[in-house]
Structure 1
Amino acid sequence: MTNNRRRIKGTVISNKMQKTVVVRVDIVRRHPLYGKIMRSSQKYMAHDESGQIQVGDIVQIVETRPISKNKRWAVEKVLEHHQVLAPSIDEVTE
């Protein structure tokens, strides 16, 4: 049995809600007539059962049954964790 649900890769831009993250998916395509490269993005609200996902993480979301009014996606896995760089000692003392 195959799983035909759509999967999308995106970046987490908000995790301020309980068990919900907002994922931004960037879309790059070429205009069919003029050939100009157009960039756009779309935001999806996705269910995060663990609550461990941070802003900046790159995640894969999968289409699922409607969970609420705006949530139809769930986080399947974290592809890359966002690393926050701590300031060096020289920057803190200055």
Structure 2
Amino acid sequence: MSNEQAHKRVIQGKVVTKAGDKSVTILVERRVTHPKYRKIVKRFKKYIVHDESNAVKVGDMIEAIECRPLSKRKSFSLHKVLSVGVEA
């Protein structure tokens, strides 16, 4: 095997839930073209992200990087906070 680190996915999203200790849920938005009507539509998906230091709050925009599975649904960890939001 080579010494290079394997490519890991990086996702950006908005924190929508601070569920439990060291876990947050982010909402990732992507834009795709509808196959029949050719209109650009939004698609959303939620990811569970590991936040070791409990640093983020609801409303923050964060960047998460793929890691080993930490639980059944948690395979991303916090990479950096892009912007601080206002909690609703």
TM range (shorter): 0.7 to 0.9
Q: Distance in 1 between matches of 2:11 and 2:18?
A: 18
Corresponding residue for 2:25? 22
Counting only pairs closer than 5 Å after superposition, residues 26-65 of structure 1 correspond to structure 2 as: 26-65=29-68
Q: Deviations over 1:14-57 (max 9, x none)?
A: 11310000010011111133211211100000100010200000
Identity between Structure 1 and Structure 2 (%): 36
Query: What is the TM-score normalised by the length of structure 1?
Result: 0.82
- Note the residue ranges of structure 1 that are not aligned, 5 or more in a row: 85-94
- Match of 1:6? 9
Deviations 1:53-76 (A, max 9, x none): 000000001111000111011111
Deviation at 1:3, TM superposition (A): 4.7
Provide the secondary structure at the position in 2 that maps to 1:45: strand
Question: In structure 2, what is the Cα distance between the partners aligned to 1:66 and 1:16?
Answer: 18
SS of aligned partner of 1:39: strand
Query: Between Structure 1 and Structure 2, which shows a larger proportion of helix residues?
Result: 1
Rg (Cα) greater in structure:
1
| Counterpart residue number, 1:68 | 71
What's the RMSD between the two structures over aligned residues? 1.4
| Unmatched tracts of structure 2, length 5 or more | none
Name the aligned partner's letter for residue 76 of structure 2: W
